[in-house]
């Protein structure tokens, strides 16, 4: 193999006409015309057309005609400009071809289980069962589209590393075999052979280590790091995923914003997209009230409006009862869609199927026609109430109002928020080319879970400034805000972080808020609390989901398109067949015995 002379397809252009070139790659497509044979050779950079003419070289032609899809070949030939009528403007290299003088088949290929060639990708036509793709992932990744995804991911991470290096950040690796943390997701556990009956946990994030690095005086840390969470999968969730983990000392929230925003801008610039700055800040409460979500999609308006006060005396009984029992009525204005939303859709589809799926009992609809409302329930609304509704929701002719009412105001936000997204998607009101980032801030410190207080972010987050409530003052605790922030782009949470507690007394109080006993704190975070006693600097940080960020920037539908070897929905790897059983001897080493799985009685 003369690897020294070998070139990539993309490096050969019309400027190389007449040059001798050496290419290595795979047989992409074959077009046999009898006395003329065309073969596309593919490498990671692209494809080039090879031409084989028996009148030029019979032996090479014969060898080429034995080639099949995905055979690995090495060729030497001459670059020729194609005649004008033979040029193909649809292909990057369509104005040249290689007259081949020597062809070597380095390896044959079985017929692949799906077409690898780029032609299968055209018009997004590639449609193969994902489990089959994962089983033959090496072939799937050989597809030009997937090759590009991995290459672009690497380029984007290079931008990240260069940027953070320039900002003085130090890349530090943290342990994969570490200690189980009590809160959050389920841990992946690794049994210890040396320490009988003891387990390591794989990190859900390097949270405590990066804080310890701040106490180590490192000042600015980052890491592109795998994190593990043993929870059920979702389309955009993998059991192991990659985070861009960042922490800095002697900083505040504004530092994080000023660090991350230019980075996001630079990453998007790599694919030619301009991101508007500065990113707007939306307090959590506002996000919930106006968008019904803590990750608002700002690519479209359709804000939620509270119309309860407009309808206090309405004669419509359902609304009346809900308002009387402390409930809320909120609405959205689906602009200009009156003609595209039929009564049967609104009444049968939306009210009876879609909204119940979101957890709502129903939805009221009204169309604005000739300055008046039209609806199946409009007779219950006085002229004044109709006018007030139109004004509250900024109604114009052709608009459609959708109202959600419930005795539980939080539920109203949640359902209407989902409906807002549903309607925007269904009616095509989202500008798919837009990039709409924002910071969601001022999250509550705690939420109630099964009657217990639990951290919304994590227990190392600093609460808002000021005296902390006592552990028994639940009313104040639930109102307490935290110095945390989420980065949201196009309705997807791409990361989050906070300013941390560096004062051991305040940290201890937070553990007490969470009802952790002295001994529990000692057992779970003893080393960390101890570290806080030795001069911990004020610090904070953020973690960004790399898989999500990359797939969003590249416009891919799933994070699995930008992960080389992902797991399927059941956290199984069809390629390696992981997870799998282990030998008795291995279990013996680990002092483990498998318990039989109980068979459900029928």
Partner RNA sequence: GGGGGCGUAGUUCAGUUGGUUUAGAACGCCGGCCUGUCACGCCGGAGGUCGCGAGUUCGAGCCUCGUCGUCCCCGCCA
Q: Which residues bind RNA (CB under 7 A)?
A: 29-36, 38, 49, 51, 53, 55, 68-69, 82-83, 85-88, 90-91, 94, 97, 111, 113-115, 119, 122, 127-132, 181, 183-186, 204-205, 207, 229, 231-235, 237, 357, 454-459, 568-570, 572, 574, 602
Min separation Cβ 168 and RNA, Å: 24
- Which is nearer to RNA, 20 or 86 (by Cβ)? 86
Category of 222 on φ-ψ map: left (φ > 0), alpha (ψ -120 to 50) or beta: beta
Min separation Cβ 581 and RNA, Å: 13
Q: CA nearest 44: which of 91, 9, 1, 73? A: 9
Maximum distance among all Cα pairs of the chain, rounded to whole angstroms:
93
Min separation Cβ 182 and RNA, Å: 9
The sign of the torsion formed by the CA atoms of 53, 55, 56, 58 equals: positive
Min separation Cβ 461 and RNA, Å: 8
Min separation Cβ 567 and RNA, Å: 8
- Which is nearer to RNA, 390 or 489 (by Cβ)? 489
- Which is nearer to RNA, 97 or 253 (by Cβ)? 97
The sign of the torsion formed by the CA atoms of 230, 448, 287, 409 equals: positive
The sign of the torsion formed by the CA atoms of 546, 549, 552, 554 equals: negative
If DSSP codes are grouped into helix, strand and coil, which group holds residue 432? coil
CA distance 349 to 330: 20
CA distance 101 to 61: 9
- Strand pairing report for 46-52 and 96-107: parallel
Token look-up 């990671």 returns: 44
CA distance 40 to 578: 36
The secondary element (H helix, E strand) that includes residue 499 is strand 492-499
Min separation Cβ 419 and RNA, Å: 13
- Strand pairing report for 437-441 and 484-489: antiparallel
Tokens of 41: 């050779």
- Which is nearer to RNA, 89 or 326 (by Cβ)? 89
Phi and psi at residue 191, in whole multiples of 5°? -70, 145
- Which is nearer to RNA, 94 or 191 (by Cβ)? 94
- Which is nearer to RNA, 7 or 69 (by Cβ)? 69
- Which is nearer to RNA, 69 or 337 (by Cβ)? 69
Q: Do 268 and 276 meet the contact criterion of CB atoms below 8 Å apart?
A: no
Residues forming a β-bridge with 452: 449
Phi and psi at residue 372, in whole multiples of 5°? -125, 165
Min separation Cβ 68 and RNA, Å: 4
- Which is nearer to RNA, 64 or 307 (by Cβ)? 64
Min separation Cβ 517 and RNA, Å: 18
- Which is nearer to RNA, 375 or 501 (by Cβ)? 501
Tokens of 214: 């701040």
Min separation Cβ 63 and RNA, Å: 14
- Which is nearer to RNA, 393 or 514 (by Cβ)? 514
- Which is nearer to RNA, 268 or 485 (by Cβ)? 485
CA distance 141 to 145: 8
Omega of the bond leading into 278 within 30 degrees of 0 (cis): yes
Min separation Cβ 593 and RNA, Å: 21
- Which is nearer to RNA, 54 or 398 (by Cβ)? 54
- Which is nearer to RNA, 322 or 354 (by Cβ)? 354
- Which is nearer to RNA, 333 or 462 (by Cβ)? 462
CA distance 513 to 453: 7
Min separation Cβ 595 and RNA, Å: 14
- Which is nearer to RNA, 231 or 522 (by Cβ)? 231
CA distance 260 to 270: 16
Tokens of 592: 């483990």
Min separation Cβ 424 and RNA, Å: 16
Min separation Cβ 99 and RNA, Å: 8
Min separation Cβ 254 and RNA, Å: 23
CA distance 298 to 281: 12
Q: CA nearest 98: which of 7, 33, 35? A: 7
Three-point CA angle 424, 122, 139, nearest 5°: 110
Other residues' Cβ atoms within 10 Å of the Cβ of residue 391: 10
Q: Do 406 and 327 meet the contact criterion of CB atoms below 8 Å apart?
A: yes
CA 548 vs CA 227, 231, 456: distances in Å: 14, 17, 21
Estimate the share of the chain in helix, then strand, then coil, as percent rounded to the nearest 5: 35, 25, 40
Displacement of CA 253 from its chain's centroid (Å)? 23
Min separation Cβ 544 and RNA, Å: 13
The secondary element (H helix, E strand) that includes residue 105 is strand 96-107
What does the H/E/C string look like for 376-399? Answer: CCHHHCCHHHHHHHHHHCCCCCCC
């Amino acid at each position: 193999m003369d690897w020294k002379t070998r070139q990539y397809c993309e490096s050969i252009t019309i400027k190389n006409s007449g040059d001798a070139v050496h290419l290595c790659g795979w047989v992409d497509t074959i077009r046999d015309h009898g006395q003329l044979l065309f073969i596309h050779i593919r490498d990671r950079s692209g494809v080039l057309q090879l031409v084989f003419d028996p009148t030029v070289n019979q032996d090479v032609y014969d060898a080429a005609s034995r080639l099949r899809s995905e055979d690995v070949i090495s060729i030497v030939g001459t670059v020729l400009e194609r005649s004008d009528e033979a040029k193909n403007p649809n292909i990057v290299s369509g104005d040249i071809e290689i007259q081949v003088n020597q062809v070597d088949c380095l390896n044959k290929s079985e017929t692949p289980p799906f077409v690898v060639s780029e032609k299968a990708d055209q018009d997004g036509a590639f449609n193969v069962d994902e489990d089959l793709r994962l089983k033959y992932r090496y072939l799937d990744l050989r597809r030009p589209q997937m090759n590009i995804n991995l290459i672009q991911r690497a380029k984007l991470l290079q931008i990240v590393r260069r940027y953070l290096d320039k900002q003085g950040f130090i890349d530090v690796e943290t342990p994969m075999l570490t200690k189980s943390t009590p809160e959050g997701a389920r841990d992946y556990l690794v049994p210890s052979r040396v320490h009988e009956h003891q387990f390591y946990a794989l990190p859900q994030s390097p949270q405590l280590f990066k804080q310890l690095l701040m106490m180590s005086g490192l000042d600015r840390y980052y890491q592109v790091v795998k994190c593990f969470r043993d929870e059920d999968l979702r389309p955009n969730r993998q059991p192991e995923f990659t985070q861009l983990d960042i922490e800095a000392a002697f900083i505040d929230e504004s530092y994080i914003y000023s660090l991350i925003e230019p980075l996001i801008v630079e990453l998007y610039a790599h694919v030619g997209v301009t991101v508007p700055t500065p990113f707007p800040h939306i307090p959590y409460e506002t996000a919930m009230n106006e968008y019904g979500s803590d990750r608002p999609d700002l690519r479209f308006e359709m804000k939620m409006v509270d119309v309860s006060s407009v309808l206090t005396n309405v004669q419509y009984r359902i609304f009346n009862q809900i308002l009387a029992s402390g409930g809320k009525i909120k609405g959205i204005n689906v602009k200009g869609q009156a003609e595209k939303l039929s009564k049967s859709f609104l009444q049968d589809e939306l009210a009876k199927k879609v909204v119940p799926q979101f957890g709502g009992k129903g939805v009221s609809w009204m169309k604005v026609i000739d300055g008046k409302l039209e609806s199946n329930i409009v007779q219950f609304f006085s002229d004044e109430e109709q006018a007030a509704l139109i004004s509250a929701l900024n109604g114009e002719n052709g608009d459609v109002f959708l109202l959600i009412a419930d005795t539980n105001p939080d539920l109203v936000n949640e359902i209407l928020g989902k409906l807002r997204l549903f309607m925007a998607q269904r009616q095509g009101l989202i500008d798919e080319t837009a990039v709409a980032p924002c910071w969601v801030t001022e999250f509550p410190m705690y939420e109630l879970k099964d009657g217990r207080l639990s951290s919304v972010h994590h227990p190392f987050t600093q609460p808002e400034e000021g005296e902390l409530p006592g552990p028994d003052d639940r009313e104040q605790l639930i109102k307490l805000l935290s110095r945390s922030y989420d980065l949201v782009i196009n309705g997807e949470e791409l990361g989050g972080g906070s300013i941390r507690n560096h004062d051991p007394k305040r940290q201890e109080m937070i553990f007490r808020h969470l009802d952790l006993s002295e001994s529990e704190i000692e057992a779970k975070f003893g080393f960390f609390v101890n570290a806080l006693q030795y001069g911990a600097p004020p610090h904070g940080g953020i973690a960004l989901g790399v898989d999500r960020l990359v797939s969003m920037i590249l416009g891919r539908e799933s994070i699995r398109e930008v992960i080389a070897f992902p797991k399927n929905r059941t956290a199984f790897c069809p390629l390696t067949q992981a997870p799998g059983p282990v030998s008795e001897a291995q279990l013996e080493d680990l002092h483990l015995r498998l318990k039989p799985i109980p068979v459900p009685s029928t």
